[in-house]
Amino acid sequence: MAARMAARALALLVLACALSLGEGEAPVLKSHYRIGAVHAADNSEQVVHRYNETARFLTRVAGSLFDPPITFSIVPVITPGAIMVDKQSVEEGLLDFALVPPFIGACNAVEGVMTPMAVVHSGPDDNLVRIGTTIFTSASNRDIDTVRDIRNKRIASVHHASVSDFLPAASLLASMGIHATQDNEKVTLYWDKTADLVESVLRGENDVGFLGTDFLQSYLSKDGAIPITGFKFLDAGSASERPAQPATPAEAAIGEGIPEYFFMAANSAHWKVQKAVADALLRIGASDDAAIDGGYQSFRPAPDLFHVTRLLEQFNLSKHSLTPGASACANVWDISESVSCPEKWRPKSPLSLGKIDFFSSSPFKSPSCTEKGISTCSGLYCLCSPCLPDPSTRLLAEGGEGTCAKMGTCGSMATQQAEERRYVAEFRYMESMQAPNCSWTLELQGGKVLSGKGINHPGKHASAHPASTPAGAHAPAGGAAVAPAEAGDAAEAPREGLLWNLEWPSCHMVVSTVARGRHVLEILSGGRQIEDSPLIFEVVARDCSPLGRRLVASDAGECVCDRWSVPVGSGCSPLEVMVPVVLVCGGLVLWLLVSVYVEGRVSRADRAWIVHEADVKFCPQSLLAQGSQGVVLLAEYKGTEVAVKASLGGDPSTLMSMVPEG
């Protein structure tokens, strides 16, 4: 009864908000409504499969209340670390409802993009209802009983993009002298694989874990999960005393966080549909197919907007405004830039770069920090640690780790550009204060000198890839200098894995040559040689063995057969095998040709001795002679007079009948 009353009150609130925020025409009823299921890590097929039964439930229960009936479907919305559901997509009617993580839901609520209708409840009971960040270790760990014991232990925590869980953990660790974003030897940050975080603690790879109770609740509800009795929960408020017994997750949670997944409604959705959907969601029970496939127990009424706003303000993630829709929610960049880094270090850009891809069939996969080796991160290539060194200048080569050292080998290349068939290396020179105007000269081992200019990039938070490499610029044989593309030139797509950090002003250079050997590369900025220049640019023979046996690199970088083999299909065959095969095949072909020729000659000779009766014409009075052995007649055969003899074995009267009278 209380749930129904809450749902009615919520419906009235939604209606009031819709009327107050409306800009003219009232929402109209549609025949089909799209529910965006927001996930950062699951692929599209998994998202659709997980919530498809929920959409079918709404179609059966809520959709049947309308005439004609309305339908609902799930649309996977991929938001790699993003904070907001795209407001324009909602306003244009591409999304009518959404299932979103807690922080995204709260931000959409305070900024007036969507209205919370219900909250997913995942646990089988109320043991983890209080949402917050919990501290846990394995129940078998005898070394950790209080928060004080974790000071010199290995710690696992969620990444700073999970702000409502990370900030309480970071604050507690900071009070103990541990910097969550810098002490990479002590703290391992997990971007999205929270199950790995839990199991790393329970297996002893880490000693203690920080995780939101909603994530922990989701883990405990999965098949094969370690039961809650395998956990020991630490009370953050009892750092100086050993508790009599381990606290429950709800009691040990640091502060009160944001509730679980929100089911949100766009303001453009008709209020009758919103009410029908809210009533239907609250009727879903743990035994329904929708709950079983979705991995949740039920839906509960959503908290009011003032409660959500207060929670965001508690974490300094929102500033409330009395004007509807004017409250601002912190975005990923604000959160990343708010991370405190030590001297000569700067915050790294978060992984969520570029535009959110809505309705994508190939969702963005964010790598786990454990897969990237958080304890050994260096340079710009590990996106798990939010801090990185900030020297005044930096020179890097594509695929390299760290910076290029003066007179060191930097850019050892053994691959060729498919179109130009030449060896190519890419460099990026960065400066903290201004965009460098860079150029390069390459002195080949034989003494020839090549040169080229770079492409400037001003440095901003807009892209995870370098400026496009022009594909239309070519150079003379023996070397190449790739210049900026002219109008109309095709741009080469960024290579996979080229994760240049574009926070700094930088200059992108492409160096290419077909000459193998160790060459001297000089990099100049503003006409002056940079600190790390010159360096060694090495072009080595391409390794063609992965492509097949007997393949070697040509001078142009192509994989060709060696001198003792010949190309056969996509591979190479040795001459000692191919020569006998060719000789045998050639002999067979020659024998066949000779046989056909001889047979033809014999056939033509035989045809010369065969006389057809129709070709013989007898003349009148053609009897030339007659005797005891037969008769001889005069005839014409193909224009020539001939004598035709009829022997006694034949019937002379038959032959005579062929002679014309006269």
Please report which helix (H) or strand (E) contains residue 186, including its range.
none
Q: What percent of the chain lies above the pLDDT cut of 90?
A: 6
Interatomic CA distance for residues 317 and 160, integer angstroms: 13
Task: Identify which of 370, 374, 390 has the alpha carbon closest to the alpha carbon of residue 382.
Answer: 374
Question: What was the pLDDT predicted at 593?
Answer: 92
Look at 122-136, 359-373, 591-605, 633-647 and tell me which has the smallest mean pLDDT.
Answer: 359-373
Judge whether residue 575 has pLDDT over 80: no
* Model confidence band, residue 471 (pLDDT cutoffs 50, 70, 90): very low
* Model confidence band, residue 16 (pLDDT cutoffs 50, 70, 90): very low
User: Could you tell me which residue, 295 or 491, shows the higher pLDDT?
Assistant: 295
Task: Identify which of 361, 356, 462 has the alpha carbon closest to the alpha carbon of residue 81.
Answer: 356
**Residues in contact with 504: Cβ distance below 8 Å, sequence separation at least 6, in sequence order:** 394, 430, 431, 432, 459
User: Do the bridges between strand 517-525 and strand 423-431 make them parallel or antiparallel, or are there none, so unpaired?
Assistant: unpaired
Look at 536-550, 579-593, 646-660 and tell me which has the smallest mean pLDDT.
Answer: 646-660
Question: What was the pLDDT predicted at 381?
Answer: 27
Please report which helix (H) or strand (E) contains residue 404, including its range.
none
CB 184 within 8 A of CB 206: no
Judge whether residue 134 has pLDDT over 70: yes
Interatomic CA distance for residues 594 and 546, integer angstroms: 46
CA distance readout (Å), 586 to 364, 580, 589: 58, 10, 5
The stretch 515-523 carries a mean pLDDT of 78
Look at 1-10, 126-135, 404-413, 608-617 and tell me which has the smallest mean pLDDT.
Answer: 1-10
Judge whether residue 142 has pLDDT over 80: yes
The stretch 251-261 carries a mean pLDDT of 58
Cα atoms in the 13 Å half-sphere on the side-chain side of 310 = 7
* Model confidence band, residue 617 (pLDDT cutoffs 50, 70, 90): confident
Give 28-96 as a 3 state SS string.
Answer: CCCCEEEEEEEECCCCHHHHHHHHHHHHHHHHHHCHHHCCCCCEEEEEEEECCCCCCCCHHHHHCCCCC
User: What does the pLDDT look like over 200-240, one tens digit per residue?
Assistant: 898 888 899 888 776 777 777 677 777 777 888 887 655 44
* Model confidence band, residue 65 (pLDDT cutoffs 50, 70, 90): very high
Residue 619 CB neighbour total at 10 angstroms: 13
The stretch 2-29 carries a mean pLDDT of 49
Judge whether residue 497 has pLDDT over 50: no
Question: What was the pLDDT predicted at 242?
Answer: 46
Look at 46-55, 253-262, 358-367, 452-461 and tell me which has the smallest mean pLDDT.
Answer: 358-367
Question: What was the pLDDT predicted at 655?
Answer: 57
Interatomic CA distance for residues 335 and 162, integer angstroms: 10
Please report which helix (H) or strand (E) contains residue 281, including its range.
helix 271-281
Question: What was the pLDDT predicted at 591?
Answer: 92
Q: Please name the amino acid found at residue 411.
A: G
Question: What was the pLDDT predicted at 277?
Answer: 95
Judge whether residue 460 has pLDDT over 90: no
**Residues in contact with 457: Cβ distance below 8 Å, sequence separation at least 6, in sequence order:** 435, 466, 467, 502, 505, 506, 507, 508
pTM confidence score: 0.41
User: Do the bridges between strand 449-453 and strand 357-358 make them parallel or antiparallel, or are there none, so unpaired?
Assistant: unpaired
Question: What was the pLDDT predicted at 398?
Answer: 55
* Model confidence band, residue 61 (pLDDT cutoffs 50, 70, 90): very high
Question: What was the pLDDT predicted at 195?
Answer: 80
CATH 3.40.190.10 is held by the domain 133-252: yes
Is 648 exposed, middle or buried (CB count within 10 Å of its CB: 0-12, 13-18, 19+)?
exposed
CB 355 within 8 A of CB 79: no
For the chain, what is the mean pLDDT? 66
Judge whether residue 419 has pLDDT over 70: no
Interatomic CA distance for residues 145 and 151, integer angstroms: 12
User: Could you tell me which residue, 644 or 428, shows the higher pLDDT?
Assistant: 644
Ordered by start, the domain boundaries in the chain are 2-122+260-330, 133-252, 391-485+495-540, 542-606, 613-656
User: Could you tell me which residue, 617 or 362, shows the higher pLDDT?
Assistant: 617
Question: What was the pLDDT predicted at 659?
Answer: 59
Judge whether residue 108 has pLDDT over 80: no
The stretch 396-413 carries a mean pLDDT of 57
Residue with tokens 């050892």: 412
Judge whether residue 116 has pLDDT over 60: yes
Interatomic CA distance for residues 433 and 180, integer angstroms: 28
Q: Specify the DSSP class assigned to residue 451.
A: E
- DSSP-assigned states of every residue in 360-398: -SS---PPPHHHHTGGG--TTS--SSSEEE--SEEEEET
User: Could you tell me which residue, 344 or 629, shows the higher pLDDT?
Assistant: 629
User: Do the bridges between strand 71-78 and strand 32-39 make them parallel or antiparallel, or are there none, so unpaired?
Assistant: parallel
Interatomic CA distance for residues 445 and 644, integer angstroms: 95
* Model confidence band, residue 251 (pLDDT cutoffs 50, 70, 90): low
Q: Please name the amino acid found at residue 241.
A: E
Which range in 7-21, 177-191, 285-299 is most confidently predicted, on average pLDDT? 285-299
Look at 44-58, 404-418, 592-606 and tell me which has the smallest mean pLDDT.
Answer: 404-418
Question: What was the pLDDT predicted at 76?
Answer: 77
Using CA of residue 371, residue 375, residue 379, residue 380, what is the dihedral sign? positive
Interatomic CA distance for residues 208 and 126, integer angstroms: 24
Task: Identify which of 287, 333, 306, 171 has the alpha carbon closest to the alpha carbon of residue 236.
Answer: 171
Look at 11-25, 128-142, 242-256, 265-279 and tell me which has the smallest mean pLDDT.
Answer: 11-25
Residue with tokens 């409330």: 320
The stretch 578-599 carries a mean pLDDT of 87
Q: Please name the amino acid found at residue 289.
A: D
Residue with tokens 């006409």: 527
Q: Look up the CATH superfamily of 391-485+495-540.
A: Immunoglobulins (2.60.40.10)
Residue 186 CB neighbour total at 10 angstroms: 19
**Residues in contact with 171: Cβ distance below 8 Å, sequence separation at least 6, in sequence order:** none
Is 290 exposed, middle or buried (CB count within 10 Å of its CB: 0-12, 13-18, 19+)?
buried
User: Could you tell me which residue, 84 or 630, shows the higher pLDDT?
Assistant: 630
User: Could you tell me which residue, 380 or 628, shows the higher pLDDT?
Assistant: 628
The SS3 call for residue 335 is helix
Which range in 108-112, 257-261, 272-276 is most confidently predicted, on average pLDDT? 272-276
- DSSP-assigned states of every residue in 519-549: EEEEEEETTEE-TT-SEEEEE-----GGG-T
Residue with tokens 């391992």: 188
CATH 3.40.190.180 is held by the domain 2-122+260-330: yes
Q: Does 2-122+260-330 match 133-252 in CATH topology?
A: yes
Please report which helix (H) or strand (E) contains residue 15, including its range.
helix 2-21
Judge whether residue 466 has pLDDT over 50: no
CB 557 within 8 A of CB 542: yes
